Structure 1
């Protein structure tokens, strides 16, 4: 009896503190099979699986989970699950990634909080497939985000990978401190978006394009479930506008990227003559975005 009472009280306390699980539903609208990969902590029920064209699969994650998802393409695995992929390969030699990451892949990043979830789509490590995130049933902005453009079609020759099925980041391709925002370039003031990053941002303005991209690339939602669609037939129609009608990520930005990408450089250095309206202070938003982006990367890797 004491155990039953304790269990009931514990459940009541957990519900009161907002501890709950989010459900991720992966949808494959590509014309071919993909192999979604999972890297995060704590571990989910799988770190890699096959998803045929037109298929879907759901995974549950607890509050506090932080990590990333991406799709692998051109994979070949034997009956024991051993094999490799043309793009997004996690170098584990198996269908299950088991804690290994990948480059030249479009990343979906999440940090699930007890009261607020943070999410983004990142091109910082490259690109291989278009992907969209749609929140379901949550409260707050819960805006859709992602990169629906086919960046492989416009990928520069020097960044192409996977037989044209992926586009590397400039950091991955050239490895310089300037492209990787390391060393003397390891700060928002010193590391400016390269021409490659600006091209990514122009095509996918809501996605992270380099390490110190603006905070509007991070989105928030409370108590939602999430649909992650690979190869969406078209950009999500769910509104991502704030109450004042402006396009929004974590905050509301009154204008989108210019054709030359110049406003991006201004935001990166902290200097701009344009006016932006945010739902929270820019300082706080930048901190949140940085924490979320780094948290998704700082997970155990083999």
Structure 2
């Protein structure tokens, strides 16, 4: 029996290194001004515990995600237990408790989809398909490829959300519902006769959030839907309400250039401004000369035409005028002369 123990530990070590028993750590931070209640919902069979908890402003909590975990992370806000039933204004999973076991009701909030060691890799994506409630930023612990990088969505909710999709509570704007989540129509949700890219066009909500968060999933046929893939040993820092985009590794950033003397730049700028002014002045003078020449030419032609008309009238004025009686007498005289 004792001889078999080293073999057992060797096999266990191999399984751990190969990723079968490995886990990733999900470190969730709250940098919002108020308490949030994160949700970690799991699709079977792997489960994460706890599935919901409170996180006060400035706090962080590390969660071990088991191998082959497939689930989502979101954050609830404005929660209370005043009626004996736990409820939240945004992101409520409708369990009546802080944790969110069992089924999950989709809400208009910011979602993060994670796959931990599924197919030998980790992956995540940001989804605004149902709506948006809090800014979020995801930072992988290591970048092993061009597809493993930090990303997030931080927007001004009042400016980005269309007016008809804004949701207020206690006088404050706290949620933006997607067009699909609000109407449920086939046209907004790309279902039924609108299930093809040719027939399902992006709504105003989709267009606004695609511009604000180009790496987020906004609707079925979005051109910017990105899945970030990392190694199966990658850990993640998930920050709600980041004040700015975090620096992941200072070594990955290019060094700042040395400061240079700006006097030459200032001289070049002044000379450039003077040159532009001279060019504008020359163009103005040329235009004025051309316009004056055209006006003078028109005046000369007009004067010549007037002179010709006066000469013509003068020559016409010397033509003798014959009255009708004189004309009749002339005709009669010619007739008598012929006889």
Q: TM-score, normalised by structure 2?
A: 0.65
Alignment partners' CA distance in 2, 1:154 and 1:16: 45
1:139 aligns with 2:149: no
The Cα shift of 1:200 comes to: 0.9
State which of 160, 177, 199 in structure 1 corresponds to 2:166: 160
Match in the other structure for 2:207: 198
Farther off after superposition, 61-70 or 135-144: 135-144
Matches within 5 A, 1:147-226: 147-163=153-169, 164-214=173-223, 216-222=225-231, 223-226=233-236
User: Which deviations, in whole Å up to 9, do the C-alpha atoms of 1:227-252 show, x marking residues without a partner?
Assistant: 0000000123448xx9xxxxxxxxxx
Any idea what SS the aligned residue of 2:229 has?
A: strand
User: Is the CA contact 2:72–2:112 (under 8 Å) kept in the aligned structure 1?
Assistant: yes
User: Which deviations, in whole Å up to 9, do the C-alpha atoms of 1:3-32 show, x marking residues without a partner?
Assistant: 735642441341353321000000000011
Match in the other structure for 1:29: 31
1:14 aligns with 2:20: no
State which of 83, 86, 91 in structure 2 corresponds to 1:88: 91
Any idea what SS the aligned residue of 1:171 has?
A: helix
Match in the other structure for 1:236: 246
User: Is the CA contact 1:133–1:228 (under 8 Å) kept in the aligned structure 2?
Assistant: yes
Alignment partners' CA distance in 2, 1:79 and 1:159: 29
Alignment partners' CA distance in 2, 1:212 and 1:5: 53
Alignment partners' CA distance in 2, 1:107 and 1:168: 13
Any idea what SS the aligned residue of 2:181 has?
A: helix
Match in the other structure for 2:324: none
What is the aligned-residue RMSD (CA, Å)?
2.3
Mark the CA change 1:213 to 1:154 in structure 2 (over 3 Å): closer, same or farther.
closer
Mark the CA change 1:14 to 1:209 in structure 2 (over 3 Å): closer, same or farther.
same
Mark the CA change 1:104 to 1:152 in structure 2 (over 3 Å): closer, same or farther.
farther
Q: Which runs of 5+ in 2 are unaligned?
A: 253-339
Q: As a proportion of its length, which structure holds more helix?
A: 2
Alignment partners' CA distance in 1, 2:105 and 2:236: 22
User: Is the CA contact 2:91–2:109 (under 8 Å) kept in the aligned structure 1?
Assistant: yes
Q: TM-score, normalised by structure 1?
A: 0.73
Mark the CA change 1:122 to 1:56 in structure 2 (over 3 Å): closer, same or farther.
same
Highest RCO, 1 vs 2 (Cα 8 Å, sep ≥ 6): 1
The Cα shift of 1:205 comes to: 1.0
Alignment partners' CA distance in 2, 1:160 and 1:194: 15
The Cα shift of 1:156 comes to: 2.0
Alignment partners' CA distance in 1, 2:197 and 2:10: 47
Match in the other structure for 1:246: none
User: Is the CA contact 1:72–1:88 (under 8 Å) kept in the aligned structure 2?
Assistant: yes
Q: Look at both structures and tell me which one has the larger radius of gyration over its CA atoms.
A: 2
Any idea what SS the aligned residue of 1:45 has?
A: coil
Alignment partners' CA distance in 2, 1:153 and 1:195: 12
Match in the other structure for 1:116: 121
The Cα shift of 1:195 comes to: 2.1
Moved over 4 A (4+): none
The Cα shift of 1:220 comes to: 1.3
Farther off after superposition, 189-198 or 39-48: 189-198
